[in-house]
Structure 1
Amino acid sequence: MKSFKLVILLIALLVAAGCSEPQQSESGVAGGEDASVETPGNVGDAEITLEFWNGFTGPDGDDIAKIIADFNEENEGEIAVRTQTMPWANFYDQYRTVVTSGEAPDIAIMHLDQIAGYARYELLTPLDELAATIGLESEDFITEVWDAGEYEGQRFGIPLDVHPLALFYNVDVLEEAGYTEPPKTYDELVEMSLTVQEKTDAHGIAMPVFWPSNMIFYSSLHSHGGESVSEDGLTPLYNSPEGEEALQKMVDLVYKHEVSPPDVQADGEVTLFRQGNSAFHINGIWMIAGFEGQDGLNFATAPVPQFGEHAAVWAGSHNFVLPKQQDEDPKRQEAAMKFIQYVSENSLQWAKAGQVPATYSVLDSDEFKELDHQYNASQQNFVFPPTSPFYGDAWGPTGPAVDEAMLGQLDPAEALERAAREGEANARDAAQ
């Protein structure tokens, strides 16, 4: 096994180059000053108290706490789960620090595109045998997200959810413009946006200059038949004719069709939609709870309009992982897997937080179909990031490149060519 010093060095390179996403403790606890600790539920002493790390600092934190409280009360005296929650911006640095120092939590949540990197440096526990003991079967999970939890033939992640991009639209603005249905294609998006601007005071759409613009580009790229990176993650493939067309269509919404204001500041597109000043908004499903809490906003959710010839939308996933322990305790691992099984079986509650369930048993349930926003967002062709430790390194430079194209500072071909050079150099350095 690699020495801890070597692991620290290699992971530092990985995280600096590749963490794409996007803590919990009281003073002095490993999670840092921005972390919070909680043991949800009315529970007493338990034989085993599990430490569970996650980055659910928003309203979704309340939803996961409700599930944990139910688990704790159901297993009172035997197992208790104590959460440590911290911002995702701090999470991965803190994670590698506590694992390499021998103070790892029992369970953690990790974004899907991070699993391969942490598995490569032996900071995760293989889950194949443990998953089999609790009866988790691949047939119950969305195939692509289940497969993406593997690295080099071993399972390291168990999916909690899927969180894709979705189209949010203002029902009242569309009705004022004479529409009752959202656009399904790029051309319809342009046509309807032009009509909205002619008949109402709202913009058609506000395209983000910054995050999540590269997720929209990822969707458009695959919709045009392009690819993000090679299977091994070392070679960028987005600087292609398909990539140029995919990005050009995004830029055209601003400068050619003029259905989006230029130079939208960070989160400015969110503000415009909240205020009823844009008809359409493309963002992650995680925005549902925030929009539901916005006074006077009558909105609905739909699949992202198809920018190219293929149906495709970026999707991520939160996965359960078991951090690597210096001294493994089978009883604690068994308790951790019991908790993971419980959450998987009760993920409808988590879906209400603004997520798509990863299991078909919940996804196909009548209860889930009653969640209109989540259900509509689930009716898309999800394209997950490739399973490679170097994906973030090769793909990462698309963020600034897309931003500069959206600002009119570089044309799409120039922006993507520069990003590809940087991405390939980053990935090769990380691999060495």
Structure 2
Amino acid sequence: MLSGCAGAAAGPSDEIDFWHLLSGPDGQIMGGMLDDYMATEGSVDVTQTVLAWGAPYYTKLAMASAGGRAPDLSIMHASRVPGYAPGGLLDPWDLDLLSEFGVTKEQFPELIWDKMTIDGTLTAIALDSHPFVLFYNTEIAEAAGLLGSDGLLVDTDTPEDFREMALQLGAHAPSGYGLSFGYLGDGSNQWRMFSTYYSQMGGTIELPVGGTMEYQEELVIETIEWILSLIDGEVGNPGHDGGTAISEFATGGSGAFYGGVWETASYKEQGLPFDVTMIPGVFGAPTAYADSHSFVLPHQDAVDEQRRRNVHAVVAHLLQHSITWAQAGHIPAYLPVVEDPSYADLVPQSHYADAVDHLVYDPQAWFTGSGSDFHTYFGNDMQNVWARRTKPLDGWNAFVARINDLLQKPSPM
């Protein structure tokens, strides 16, 4: 349901106004989960407001919170929360209420719980994690002799082995390409790829307020050169945007595809013979870029305690039934769901569940996170590097200069 920007304050306590940015399969599944909740005894009505993904959503949410017209509940990417919480736009969650409804700290991976907590306060509750992963065509992989006795893609733990595997996939793929990766015009996807391999190499990024971006230049260069080797016209197509890369893999044209777990539901609907694995840790641990859809409490000037209690109950229910959410490809953050035997029956979802131990979120700053200027600027300055029109450090240094300018500015929140 799409509605305007009216806040929840005018409604009765047994009606919850819920804003989110979930569309496509994600939106359909969330709608079904809410219907299931509202069919339970003692439930309250939940009205969804679905807004456009990215900057429009976060701008409207900030304006609603600042203007006293905030919804009762909303979803934010965990990477965006640090930019909102210090400005007083989000209220904290009540740990006692959550516990009363059966949700406790011990039921979340430590890495995710830490991301949910800002300055010691539980500011967000992750529904999931959605990492960057490697999809592969099982028929092509089998023809190339790359499936093990368990039917899964063989492990590779060095750059040389991974490249050779990709070349073998390409030799048996109609397009001739082993890997599909869409980067043109997509700063977020460019950043996901860079963040994944830079972190595998041990690279870190710090963004100190009022300072300058801190990073390891040698690892930056190595990461860029590695990514260029994967879109060299031999391993992968050097001129793909997101749509063409998805299409190439979806139609069985390529052997493998770099993408987010959210593509899982669409590929299943198309009947594609595929599986999914964590991106192999060819430079170290199999770390990968990730984010989490997280529930937050937009600030209310006058809190209706019964209404707030009902919101906690709604979120607890959604967490405890997030096996349904896993159908979209996301990894539930609520551990009892992932540890339940029924989750092991979900394929390919269970094949990359261990990614929760290797998530890499964006470096913390008011301008980072999904759909942020940080991703946009990275794409603006690095796209010509991937297209081989700009030297790696020229593109990187231009990006760093823009980030350093942002570090000198106060958060608009």
Residues 55 and 86 in structure 1, CA contact (< 8 A), matched pair in contact too: yes
Structure 1, gaps ≥5 residues long: 1-23, 32-44
Residue among 182, 189, 213 paired with 1:208: 182
Residues 116 and 387 in structure 1, CA contact (< 8 A), matched pair in contact too: yes
Task: Provide the residue aligned with 2:245 in structure 1.
Answer: 269
Task: Provide the residue aligned with 2:270 in structure 1.
Answer: 294
Residues 209 and 407 in structure 1, CA contact (< 8 A), matched pair in contact too: no
Check if 1:224 corresponds to 2:201.
Answer: yes
Q: Distance in 2 between matches of 1:402 and 1:375?
A: 34
Residues 171 and 177 in structure 2, CA contact (< 8 A), matched pair in contact too: no
Q: Deviations over 1:209-268 (max 9, x none)?
A: 24312101100000011013346696433461111111210001223x721121213421
Q: Deviations over 1:275-317 (max 9, x none)?
A: 111101010000001111114x211111112242332111110
Residues 129 and 333 in structure 2, CA contact (< 8 A), matched pair in contact too: yes
SS at match of 2:45: strand
Q: Deviations over 1:112-150 (max 9, x none)?
A: 011111111111001244545545322110111111112
Using the TM superposition, give the Cα deviation of residue 396 of structure 1 relative to its aligned residue in structure 2, in angstroms. Answer: 5.2
Higher relative contact order (CA 8 A, sep 6+): 2
* Counterparts of residues 352-371 of structure 1 (less than 5 Å): 352-371=327-346
- The aligned amino acid for 1:150 is T
Residues 236 and 395 in structure 1, CA contact (< 8 A), matched pair in contact too: no
- Which deviates more from structure 2 when the two are superposed, residues 222-231 or residues 175-184? 175-184
Task: Provide the residue aligned with 2:20 in structure 1.
Answer: 54
Q: Distance in 2 between matches of 1:425 and 1:225?
A: 26
Task: Provide the residue aligned with 1:285 in structure 2.
Answer: 261
SS at match of 1:165: strand
Q: Deviations over 1:50-88 (max 9, x none)?
A: 001111111111211222112212145x52111111221
> For the structure 1 residues 195 and 94, does the alpha-carbon distance in structure 2 shift closer, same or farther, using more than 3 Å as the test?
same
Task: Provide the residue aligned with 1:317 in structure 2.
Answer: 292
Residues 162 and 282 in structure 2, CA contact (< 8 A), matched pair in contact too: no
- The aligned amino acid for 1:407 is A
> For the structure 1 residues 284 and 266, does the alpha-carbon distance in structure 2 shift closer, same or farther, using more than 3 Å as the test?
closer
> For the structure 1 residues 200 and 115, does the alpha-carbon distance in structure 2 shift closer, same or farther, using more than 3 Å as the test?
closer
* Counterparts of residues 371-382 of structure 1 (less than 5 Å): 371-380=346-355, 381-382=358-359
Residues 233 and 394 in structure 1, CA contact (< 8 A), matched pair in contact too: no
Q: Distance in 2 between matches of 1:158 and 1:394?
A: 23
Task: Provide the residue aligned with 1:5 in structure 2.
Answer: none
Using the TM superposition, give the Cα deviation of residue 408 of structure 1 relative to its aligned residue in structure 2, in angstroms. Answer: 0.8
Residues 148 and 386 in structure 1, CA contact (< 8 A), matched pair in contact too: no
Q: Distance in 1 between matches of 2:127 and 2:262?
A: 14
Check if 1:194 corresponds to 2:161.
Answer: no
Residue among 140, 143, 146 paired with 1:173: 140
Task: Provide the residue aligned with 1:117 in structure 2.
Answer: 83
Report % sequence identity.
Answer: 24
- The aligned amino acid for 2:79 is D
Q: Distance in 1 between matches of 2:301 and 2:340?
A: 41
CA RMSD, 1 decimal? 2.4
Task: Provide the residue aligned with 2:389 in structure 1.
Answer: 409
> For the structure 1 residues 92 and 328, does the alpha-carbon distance in structure 2 shift closer, same or farther, using more than 3 Å as the test?
same
Task: Provide the residue aligned with 2:150 in structure 1.
Answer: none
Q: Distance in 2 between matches of 1:153 and 1:47?
A: 29
TM-score by length of 1: 0.84
Using the TM superposition, give the Cα deviation of residue 350 of structure 1 relative to its aligned residue in structure 2, in angstroms. Answer: 0.9
- The aligned amino acid for 1:198 is A
Q: Distance in 2 between matches of 1:140 and 1:275?
A: 39
Check if 1:244 corresponds to 2:221.
Answer: yes
- The aligned amino acid for 1:309 is G
- Which deviates more from structure 2 when the two are superposed, residues 394-403 or residues 97-106? 394-403
Q: Distance in 2 between matches of 1:234 and 1:110?
A: 27
> For the structure 1 residues 311 and 406, does the alpha-carbon distance in structure 2 shift closer, same or farther, using more than 3 Å as the test?
same
What is the total number of aligned residue pairs between the two structures? 392
> For the structure 1 residues 240 and 395, does the alpha-carbon distance in structure 2 shift closer, same or farther, using more than 3 Å as the test?
farther
Residues 170 and 254 in structure 2, CA contact (< 8 A), matched pair in contact too: no
Q: Deviations over 1:171-214 (max 9, x none)?
A: 11122222212453432331022223334433111232243121
Q: Distance in 1 between matches of 2:167 and 2:353?
A: 28
Structure 2, gaps ≥5 residues long: 148-152
Using the TM superposition, give the Cα deviation of residue 409 of structure 1 relative to its aligned residue in structure 2, in angstroms. Answer: 1.7
Using the TM superposition, give the Cα deviation of residue 348 of structure 1 relative to its aligned residue in structure 2, in angstroms. Answer: 0.8
SS at match of 1:116: helix
Residues 196 and 203 in structure 1, CA contact (< 8 A), matched pair in contact too: yes
Q: Deviations over 1:327-371 (max 9, x none)?
A: 111111001001111111111111122210102211111111111
Residue among 308, 329, 332 paired with 1:333: 308
Q: Distance in 2 between matches of 1:321 and 1:233?
A: 28
> For the structure 1 residues 199 and 343, does the alpha-carbon distance in structure 2 shift closer, same or farther, using more than 3 Å as the test?
closer
- Which deviates more from structure 2 when the two are superposed, residues 209-218 or residues 326-335? 209-218
Q: Distance in 2 between matches of 1:103 and 1:241?
A: 48
Q: Distance in 2 between matches of 1:410 and 1:177?
A: 35
Q: Distance in 1 between matches of 2:208 and 2:100?
A: 31
- The aligned amino acid for 1:60 is D
Q: Distance in 2 between matches of 1:394 and 1:284?
A: 18
> For the structure 1 residues 104 and 278, does the alpha-carbon distance in structure 2 shift closer, same or farther, using more than 3 Å as the test?
same
- Which deviates more from structure 2 when the two are superposed, residues 336-345 or residues 236-245? 236-245
Task: Provide the residue aligned with 1:81 in structure 2.
Answer: 46
Q: Distance in 2 between matches of 1:241 and 1:356?
A: 33
Q: Distance in 2 between matches of 1:188 and 1:170?
A: 18
Q: Deviations over 1:137-164 (max 9, x none)?
A: 2211011111111222222101111111
- The aligned amino acid for 2:197 is S
